[in-house]
């Protein structure tokens, strides 16, 4: 089954109204891949208003709560109010810098799914975990924590982003073979519970994806696109990655 490719940019805490306007004006979208940009929350409405047709908008994070006394948080309903239909969940920076654990991340995934929004669930191992030979086990347990809460069938409506922590923002991407090996294991792990879901689910690779390595990554059978950090802020780089996903 051919899965549609997704190229998602994670702008992290970067940009200004001026730089966002410039970047969006330079992006070139193709019909045969979905292009998503995950903007800082403050700019989501602005990005929605300016994004050329074909660019979908994502939040970088969302609350696990509906509303109330949760200072600084942004709810699923607020995202829906802005017609934002995707949110990253469990990015490694959220896990490591803000102590988000698997249960908390699973609760956020559940909230998004209840609202018919699409979570982009980020998983991946640290360098120490890879060196200890625990890569598959770490990814599987991060997935299992979410399966335990939302069930396997819900993964038809979830996008997975495999992002080895050691490759994020380091310039040191996983090789296409390393990435494919983990993507295949993730798909097999899901297939143990549902082959239908495993065939359907889109698994993105993230970690120092750039124009020069994207085509090789996208050529792998279980890599369905990319979650791109630094290179998504540079129009020529991001455009070339989108082009490679055709
Ligand atoms: C990310 O932030 O999700 C990411 C993959 O960053 P980078 O592409 O800069 O490694």
CA of residue 246 to ligand 1 center, whole Å: 21
Q: What is the 3-state secondary structure (H, E, C) of 116-176?
A: CCEEEEEECCCHHHHHCCCHHHHHHHHHHHHHHHHCCHHHHHCEEEECCHHHCCCCCCCCH
ipTM given for this complex: 0.97
CA of residue 238 to ligand 1 center, whole Å: 12
Which residue owns the Cα nearest ligand 1 atom 3? Answer: 229
**Per-residue pLDDT tens over the stretch 87-132:** 999 999 999 999 999 999 999 999 999 999 999 999 999 999 999 9
Q: Is 163 assigned a catalytic role? A: yes
**Per-residue pLDDT tens over the stretch 127-180:** 999 999 999 999 999 999 999 999 999 999 999 999 999 999 999 889 999 999
Tokens of 159: 């996008």
Q: Is 237 assigned a catalytic role? A: no
133 Cβ contact partners less than 8 Å away, ≥ 6 residues apart: none
207 lines ligand 1 (CB under 6 A): yes
- Right CATH number for 5-244 from 1.20.950.20, 3.40.50.620, 3.20.20.70, 3.40.50.150? 3.20.20.70
pTM across the whole model: 0.97
Asked if 70 and 112 count as a contact pair (C-beta separation under 8 A), the reply is: no
């Amino acid at each position: 089954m051919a899965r549609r490719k997704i190229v998602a940019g994670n702008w992290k805490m970067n940009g200004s109204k001026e730089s966002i306007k410039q970047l969006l004006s330079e992006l070139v979208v193709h019909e045969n891949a979905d292009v998503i940009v995950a903007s800082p929350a403050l700019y989501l409405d602005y990005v929605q208003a300016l994004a050329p047709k074909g660019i979908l908008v994502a939040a970088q994070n969302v609350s696990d709560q509906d509303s109330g006394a949760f200072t600084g948080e942004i709810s699923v309903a607020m995202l829906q109010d802005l017609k934002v239909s995707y949110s990253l969940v469990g990015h490694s920076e959220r896990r490591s810098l803000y102590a988000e654990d698997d249960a908390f991340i699973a609760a956020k995934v559940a909230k998004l799914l209840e609202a018919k929004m699409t979570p982009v669930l980020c998983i991946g191992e640290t360098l120490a975990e890879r060196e200890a030979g625990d890569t598959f086990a770490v990814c599987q347990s991060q997935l299992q924590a979410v399966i335990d809460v939302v069930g396997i069938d819900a993964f038809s409506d979830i996008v997975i982003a495999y992002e080895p922590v050691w490759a994020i923002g380091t310039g040191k991407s996983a090789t296409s073979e390393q990435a494919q090996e983990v993507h295949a294991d993730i798909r097999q792990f899901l297939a143990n519970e549902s082959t239908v879901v495993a065939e359907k689910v889109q698994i993105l690779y993230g970690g120092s994806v750039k124009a020069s390595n994207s085509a090789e990554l996208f050529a792998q059978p279980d890599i369905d696109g990319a979650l791109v950090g630094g290179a998504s802020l540079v129009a020529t780089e991001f455009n070339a990655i989108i082009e490679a996903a055709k």
